[in-house]
Amino acid sequence: VTPEEFRRVGHLVVDWIADYRTRAATLPVRSTIAPGDVRRRLPTTPPERGEPLDTLLRDMDEMILPGITHWQHPQFFSYFPANATLSSALGDFLSTGLGVIGLNWQASPALTELELLMADWIRQMTGLSEAWSGAIHDTASTATLVALICARERTTRFSLQRGGLQGEPRPLVVYASSESHSSVQKAALLAGFGRAHVRAIPVDDAFALDPRALRQALADDRREGRVPCAVVATVGTTSSTALDPVGAMADLASEFGCWLHVDAAMAGAAMILPECRTMWAGIEGADSLVLNPHKWLGAVMDCSLYYVRDVEHLVRVMSTNPSYLRTPTDAQAVNLRDWGIPLGRRFRALKLWTLIRSEGVSGLQARLRRDLENARWLAAQIDAAPEWERVAPVPLQTVCVRHHPAGLEGEALDRHTLAWLEHINRSGDAFLNATVLGGRWAVRVSIGSETTERAHVAMLWERMQAAVRNAGI
Ligand SMILES: Cc1ncc(COP(=O)(O)O)c(C=O)c1O
């Protein structure tokens, strides 16, 4: 494809995306196809000769779109809002068009410098002190893995320079609530702690970590000869956006000599609202923090910000210095490969830059406030409706709910919950998901798609009430 050909087809692609966003609201939210359907429609072998890209958009319409679940749909209430704002999409497009890779500063100085600046803009926007420095990672899962590796190396005083964890005399332990994201477990396992040394700390009635139980676990491990190493606090748990008590956990981490990592993948965005910052009170006592602008804030996936207070420690753990990457500017410039796991990095800062420039801080704040208000409205409807129960507090934009008619308990209640959920999802009118809270299934309504207004939430509430009548249970 020559630049001229790219210009011609590229305009068609941009038109296609703009049209798609305009009509997304008319499509069934969850894809209606069966496993294997997309593959069955496509050639099983690659084309021998190149073909003009003119047919691409027809194939997108006919073969790919039916297999798309529409995350940008105003009735998308599943998982979490993953707002791929078009302003951010433009930045991502520019990054792809430039096609540069940030192996080190000189490999594209603007890539590194804009990334550091965007991390600093978000630091300011979320009210964090100047003690924090951040960079963009692909996902919170990677950032949390980096955090636990850094914790391991601090506790062991750089065991990686010796025998690694295998050479340590006593096992190291990681602590997170039973509601923490699976990525915390995964990171702990990949960082070598072993399942026997990952503690799931019980939660209180609001699904937030119980600091007394954490203290007990820390003390038990210490007494029994294990070494408390890292505590992970979740600000905005995946199931219900519960808020772990960061301040109390910071105190305990400090008392027991542990690293404190804060997983604010989802709720970190809310900290651009000054009124929400009490939700992570004590954050300055943490060692590391992850938040995902590729969720609610509006940056196209992938864009996860990982902040630390001690950059020197991070670099000491992560740095590599092969001859082929050395440059004359190494002493003066930041090489972001030393701030995480991958060597190569995309120019991801562009999509944050275009997002923040286009919406402005006040525009982003207004959208998030709208979503919080919509969640409160839905919570109030549920609270007022007979036979419906809200099963968790609603500090943010996620409402967890059950329809609980008298006499329906246990597994029968679970079947009812999953049946009315599937009834809605199958209709294509809205898409929600379920989670287990307090041992029973509940439906999660995660509000915050860029295009979701009050009318969409009201329509969902009507659908929910109709679904429990019509789900055939
Ligand atoms: C609290 C929390 N942590 C971590 C993650 C994982 O995020 P990522 O997909 O960026 O790894 C999620 C995703 O849903 C989450 O809700």
Any atom of ligand 1 within 6 Å of the Cβ of 238? yes
Q: Where are the beta strands (DSSP E) in 349-390?
A: 388-390
Per-residue pLDDT, 55:
87
Q: How far is the CA of 458 from the centre of ligand 1 (A)?
A: 28
Strand order from edge to edge, sheet including 259-263: 133-137, 304-308, 288-291, 259-263, 227-234, 172-177, 198-201
Block residue for tokens 């998982």? 79
Block residue for tokens 């599937």? 422
Specify the amino acid at residue 331: A
The 8-class DSSP code of residue 460 comes to H
384 contacts 438 by C-beta, under 8 angstroms: no
178 contacts 437 by C-beta, under 8 angstroms: no
Question: Which of 187, 116, 190, 150 lies closest to 340 in space, CA to CA?
Answer: 150
On the 0-12 / 13-18 / 19+ scale of CB atoms within 10 A, 268 is buried
294 three-class SS: helix
SS3 content of the chain, % helix, strand, coil (to 5): 50, 15, 35
Ligand 1 atom closest to the CA of 234, numbered from 1? 1
Question: Which of 383, 367, 361 lies closest to 447 in space, CA to CA?
Answer: 367
329 three-class SS: coil
Q: Can you tell me the distance from the alpha carbon of 357 to that of 355, in angstroms, rounded to the nearest whole number?
A: 6
Per-residue pLDDT, 315:
96
H-type helices in 191-321, by residue range?
211-223, 246-255, 311-318
Per-residue pLDDT, 322:
85
Any atom of ligand 1 within 6 Å of the Cβ of 141? yes
Per-residue pLDDT, 405:
94
Per-residue pLDDT, 321:
84
Averaged over successive runs of 10 residues, the pLDDT of the chain (473 residues) comes to 93 96 96 93 93 88 95 97 97 97 95 98 98 98 98 97 95 98 98 97 98 98 98 98 98 98 98 98 98 97 97 95 87 93 97 98 98 98 97 98 95 96 96 96 98 98 93 58
Any atom of ligand 1 within 6 Å of the Cβ of 338? no
Any atom of ligand 1 within 6 Å of the Cβ of 263? yes
Cα–chain center distance at 191:
20
205 contacts 392 by C-beta, under 8 angstroms: no
Give the chain's length: 473
Query: 389-438, pLDDT tens digit by residue?
Result: 999 999 999 999 999 999 999 999 999 999 999 999 999 999 999 999 99
80, 238, 291, 300, best to mutate for ligand 1 pocket (most atoms within 8 Å of CB): 238
Q: How many CB atoms lie within 10 A of CB 335?
A: 23
348 three-class SS: coil
Q: Tell me the average pLDDT of the chain.
A: 96
The 8-class DSSP code of residue 299 comes to P
390 three-class SS: strand
Query: 290-342, pLDDT tens digit by residue?
Result: 999 999 999 999 999 999 999 999 999 999 888 888 888 888 999 999 999 99
Block residue for tokens 């020559």? 2
Q: How far is the CA of 7 from the centre of ligand 1 (A)?
A: 37
Any atom of ligand 1 within 6 Å of the Cβ of 417? no
Per-residue pLDDT, 307:
98
Question: Which of 62, 64, 56, 67 lies closest to 28 in space, CA to CA?
Answer: 67
140 contacts 303 by C-beta, under 8 angstroms: no
Per-residue pLDDT, 470:
79
Phi/psi at 194 (nearest 5 deg)?
A: 90, 140
For the chain, the farthest-separated pair of C-alpha atoms sits apart, in whole angstroms, at 74
Question: Which of 272, 461, 283, 294 lies closest to 385 in space, CA to CA?
Answer: 461
Ligand 1 atom closest to the CA of 292, numbered from 1? 10
Structure tokens at 230: 């890292």
340 three-class SS: coil
Question: Ligand 1 atom 7: the closest Cα is on which residue?
Answer: 140
pTM of whole model > 0.85?
Answer: yes
Per-residue pLDDT, 330:
86
Ligand 1 atom closest to the CA of 143, numbered from 1? 11
Q: Can you tell me the distance from the alpha carbon of 396 to that of 236, in angstroms, rounded to the nearest whole number?
A: 8
Ligand 1 atom closest to the CA of 236, numbered from 1? 1
User: What residues have CB less than 8 Å from 409, skipping those under 6 apart?
Assistant: none
User: What residues have CB less than 8 Å from 45, skipping those under 6 apart?
Assistant: none
432 contacts 6 by C-beta, under 8 angstroms: no
